[in-house]
């Protein structure tokens, strides 16, 4: 194999992996959104089979041959080729290092823990979940040891979702973030609390979905030609193909806010996916550099844009058209309503300020969990202590405590920081966007969201995974990730909102 042949092989292999990924996405999307109840059991067998096919593609012995040729080359490679080679190197040797038996055990253990989590959460009984969680943690730690890591063992977990990020770095970032958030929360407590009378429903699914489609369209999500909006229990975005990016939401009859902000959130993900460098898909660069960066786009649209005054100056009249009962609400009242700050128990319902504290709690607990500093029995106690300390609230039971999220049951330890990092990336991008586009606020107020769309497309989306997360942030904002921008953004917005 020569250099050209080796590159060609990797690109061809990547193409097949993309096909198999797309297949898995179609089948999983169908399972979540369309499949009848009794289809599920056989469907999991099919998904297991497809996953093992995908795994085979990533462990083909010819990958090692091709890498051997390319790594011995002294030639320079362009940026796309570098990514292609690096990615295959990472995937191939990672998969090689994890024994197949461990992988199977892990996938069985997470399937079981997922089921036990559902039951345990329903019954509010941590004991039902505990042994399965312990097993998952143990297997994940074994995996981390096989793959290897430097410094804290949690670095191996972070690496799965936020390449290049370390505990050492994150500790510092989150310390600043926590300090700033706690301070801001304390200041807001001094302020007169706002009180709202929200319009009561029922709000029909039809009118809610029409409003959502209107806004998604304004945002620049090409939903009609290359997307879909459907309803599921939990909202998500699915990448079924370069021109097939779908989102889901959940409608509540008595409140429009859930569906409205979850569609804007998923719309942010979808726009990112639609504007990746898909022409370079065979280099594997048409995806986000990290989960944190993907979350940066969804949370940016949901909060920084979607909960801003200029945005609703443009679109509140339209909302009132779709939802006549909002005609008795003023723009100012609506703006306050959707930005109500109130420490609470559930992450997914948290406001912009307290949200990241929910994440920091999870981050701290995950580190203790995988380092072994805290045993499986003590987790509820620690969870509840931290909620009391950071947020001043205490769960009545573990269902609204440490069992509220599915992530641990699915073995996704190390994912949570991505959400908070998303907030930070988003605010830092926003700072830069405002600097480069002095007319930004005016344009948004006049309903020209394409200025946001174009800037993000040009500066973030179109780079896909060509850069690492750190490189991308520096490339866009000329400095490394800094929580200051997020804290500044929050202070300015909320001190203003509470007239402080």
**Which residues here bind a copy of itself, judged by CB under 8 A?**
16, 19-20, 22-23, 26-27, 29-30, 34-39, 41-43, 45-46, 49-50, 53, 222-228, 240-244
> What's the min distance (Å) between Cβ of 32 and a copy of itself?
12
> What's the min distance (Å) between Cβ of 243 and a copy of itself?
4
Burial of 499 per CB tally in 10 Å (0-12, 13-18, 19+) = exposed
Instruction: Closer to a copy of itself by CB, 241 or 310: give it.
Output: 241
Instruction: Closer to a copy of itself by CB, 179 or 279: give it.
Output: 279
Instruction: Closer to a copy of itself by CB, 124 or 242: give it.
Output: 242
List C-alpha distances in Å: 385 to 12, 241, 391, 460: 52, 44, 10, 39
> What's the min distance (Å) between Cβ of 220 and a copy of itself?
15
Report the catalytic residues: 266
Instruction: Closer to a copy of itself by CB, 56 or 90: give it.
Output: 56
Phi, psi (deg, nearest 5) at residue 353:
-80, -50
Contacts of 102 (CB under 8 A, 6+ apart): 139, 142, 143, 146
Instruction: Closer to a copy of itself by CB, 20 or 353: give it.
Output: 20
| CA neighbours closer than 13 Å in the CB half-sphere of residue 441 | 7
Angle at which helices 355-371 and 167-190 cross, to 10°: 140
The b/e string for 217-236 (b: 16+ C-beta within 10 A; e otherwise) is ebbbbebeebbbbeeeeebb
Q: Distance between CA atoms of 305 and 484, rounded to whole angstroms?
A: 19
> What's the min distance (Å) between Cβ of 351 and a copy of itself?
34
Neighbours of 412 (CB within 10 A): 19
DSSP state of 252: B
> What's the min distance (Å) between Cβ of 39 and a copy of itself?
4
Q: What DSSP element (H or E) covers 320?
A: helix 309-322
């Amino acid at each position: 194999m020569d250099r050209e042949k080796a590159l060609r092989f990797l690109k061809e292999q990547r193409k097949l992996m993309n096909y198999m990924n797309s297949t898995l996405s179609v089948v999983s999307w169908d399972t979540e959104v369309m499949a009848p109840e009794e289809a599920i059991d056989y469907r999991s067998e099919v998904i297991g089979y497809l996953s093992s096919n995908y795994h085979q593609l990533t462990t083909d012995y010819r990958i090692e041959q091709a890498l051997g040729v390319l790594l011995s080359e002294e030639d320079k490679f362009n940026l796309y080729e570098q990514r292609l080679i690096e990615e295959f190197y990472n995937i191939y040797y990672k998969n090689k290092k994890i024994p197949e038996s461990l992988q199977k055990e892990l996938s069985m253990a997470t399937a079981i823990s997922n089921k036990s989590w559902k039951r345990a959460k329903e019954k509010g009984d941590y004991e039902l979940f505990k042994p399965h969680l312990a097993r998952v943690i143990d297997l994940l730690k074994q995996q981390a040891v096989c793959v290897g890591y430097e410094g804290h063992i949690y670095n191996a977990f972070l690496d799965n979702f936020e390449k290049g990020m370390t505990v050492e770095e994150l500790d510092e970032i989150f310390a600043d973030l926590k300090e700033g958030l706690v301070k801001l929360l304390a200041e807001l407590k001094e302020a007169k609390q706002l009180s709202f009378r929200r319009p009561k429903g029922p709000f029909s699914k039809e009118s809610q979905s029409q409003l959502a489609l209107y806004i998604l369209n304004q945002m620049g999500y090409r939903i009609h030609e290359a997307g879909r909006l459907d309803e599921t229990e939990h909202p998500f975005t699915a990448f079924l193909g370069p021109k097939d990016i779908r989102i889901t939401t959940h409608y509540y009859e008595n409140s429009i806010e859930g569906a409205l902000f979850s569609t804007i959130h998923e719309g942010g993900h979808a726009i990112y996916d639609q504007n990746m460098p898909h022409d370079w898909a065979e280099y594997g660069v048409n995806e986000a550099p990290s989960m944190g960066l993907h979350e940066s786009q969804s949370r940016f649209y949901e909060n920084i844009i979607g909960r801003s005054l200029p945005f609703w100056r443009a679109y509140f009249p339209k909302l009132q058209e779709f939802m006549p009962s909002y005609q008795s609400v003023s723009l100012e009242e609506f703006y306050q309503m959707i930005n109500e700050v109130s420490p609470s128990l559930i992450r997914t319902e948290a406001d912009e300020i307290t949200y990241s504290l929910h994440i920091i709690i999870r981050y701290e607990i995950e580190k203790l969990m995988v380092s072994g500093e805290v045993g499986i029995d003590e987790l509820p106690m620690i969870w509840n202590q931290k909620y009391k300390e950071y947020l001043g609230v205490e769960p009545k039971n573990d269902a609204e405590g440490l069992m509220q999220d599915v992530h641990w049951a699915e073995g996704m330890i190390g994912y949570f920081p991505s959400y908070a990092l998303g907030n930070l990336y988003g605010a830092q991008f926003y700072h830069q966007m405002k600097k480069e586009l002095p007319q930004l606020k005016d344009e948004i107020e006049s309903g020209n969201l394409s200025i946001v769309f174009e800037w993000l497309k040009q500066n973030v989306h179109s780079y896909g995974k060509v850069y690492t997360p750190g490189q991308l942030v520096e490339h866009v904002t000329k400095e490394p990730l800094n929580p200051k921008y997020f804290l500044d953004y929050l202070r300015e917005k909320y001190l203003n909102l509470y007239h402080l």
